[in-house]
Every structure is written in C-alpha cells, then in structure tokens.
Amino acid sequence: MIRRIIAGVALAALFTGCVTAASPTVPGATPTPATGATATPANGATPTPATGATATPANGATPTPAAAVTPIPTEPGAGSPEPTVVTDPVLAAEFPTSIDGNPVNNLQTGQFLDVLAGISDTTRTDQFRAAMAAAGLDIDTLTFGNADVSINGNDESIQAIRTPGKDASVIVQNYDILATIGSEDPGPTLASATVAGRAVTTATDPVAETTDYLYVKGDTVFFIADPGPDLAATIIAALP
C-alpha cells in the first residue's frame, strides 16, 4: 500500500524548514562548579584553579580567572508537533482542517519524487514512471501531501497525490505498481465500493490482510491506510 512507500522515510526531513535535533542536555540543568578548596602544590608548583574556584597566587603573580561555563541551550520547541511545511498550496487546501470536530495536524506537501528518492527499487519506480507517461503524466510534476488526525483515540494518517491538471484516477488504475514499489509482496486486490455516499476504491493487502481506501477528487487522490469501515466513512465524508 502507499504506506509502504514512505515506510522508513521521515517525510518531514524531505522538506526544508524542519526542526533540527537539539544537542543532548538535561533541560534546565546548571553546571555545578567545583568547591572553593585550594589545592596544595607539590614541589612549589603553581596549582591550576578548578572551575569556579579561587586559587592562591604564588610569589605575587596574578591568577588567571577560570573560564565561565555556559550551559548548552536546548532547541526551542523541541518535542513539539512537526511544523507545517507546504510547497503545494493547492494540494494543501484540499485537506480538511478538522474531521468530526478533531483538528487535522502536521500538514505537509512536497514533490512526490522526494518520497521515491528514499527507495532503492528503481525497477518498479521506472515502471511507474513509464505507466504515468503512457497516461500523459510526468511524475516529476506530481506532488504529495500528508496530515494526521486522531479520532476517538485512533491515530490516522491521510495521504494524497496530486496530478496537476490531470485526472487522478490514473493513479488508481496503476496502483498495483505504486503499491509494490520497495516491496516483494504481491500487489493489492482492488475493488469498487461506496463509502459515505462516495465512490471509492478499496485496496486489500493479501499478506497483511489490511484494507486501504482510495478516493479521487479531480486531480487529487487521497489514501487512508487501513482505518476500518467506520473510521473510513468519517474521514472520507470530510474530504472535498
């Protein structure tokens, strides 16, 4: 399924403007200086002052002050949700802002080729490119979107591919190729269905025994990964 394509690929890392991991440190920790004890020098040697300590100068020499220790700052916002990164505002506008009263978060869009770039299966990637070309599509123009929503404790990802100015049904027609990029498993079994009063395509994985839902709206096809019938109906009803 489409989730195989992004498995192991951090989608946020594909786009600019993402959060950079902070240097490891204990939040709010302040370094503890050594106690102010003065070491006794051996054989008349001048002791090296410990951090934060005051050393007694020998023969009237002026001691060198210890360097100040500055804690390593943590990254602002570390641990917060992924930022919104949008490079295709048309596709971004297709995503709902909420579903059944629950906010849709972490919306990101980018070039679909950036997703494929993280996969070494060039054979099927080339097959998909050829299939799209035969249908009059250049995969270099395809864009990809992803967002998250939590409904009644169920976390779900909504993904989409946009085929600018072209009917996105061609993606569904070639889904057997797309779904098996980077996988040795057989392709899914596709079937037509009506969900929330809308025509959709179900894609059942014969190995994992999961069912994904594909919904086409103009030049955009949405993918919902194995949500179950009830959650699928809730999500699809909120799509454009």
Burial of residue 24 (CB within 10 Å: 0-12, 13-18, 19+) is: exposed
Confidence bin at 122 (pLDDT 50/70/90): confident
Check residue 96 and give its pLDDT.
97
CA 19 to chain centre: 11
Based on its alpha-carbon atoms, the radius of gyration of the chain, rounded to whole angstroms, reads 28
Q: Which H or E run contains 89?
A: helix 89-94
Mean pLDDT of the chain: 76
Residues 6+ apart with CB under 8 A from 157: 3, 146, 147, 148, 224, 225
Model pLDDT for residues 127-142, shown as the tens digit of each residue: 899 999 999 999 999 9
Name which of 22, 20, 222 is nearest 109 in CA terms: 222
Task: DSSP for 24-36, please give it.
Answer: P--TT--PPPPP-
Model pLDDT for residues 168-205, shown as the tens digit of each residue: 999 999 998 888 888 788 889 999 999 999 999 999 99
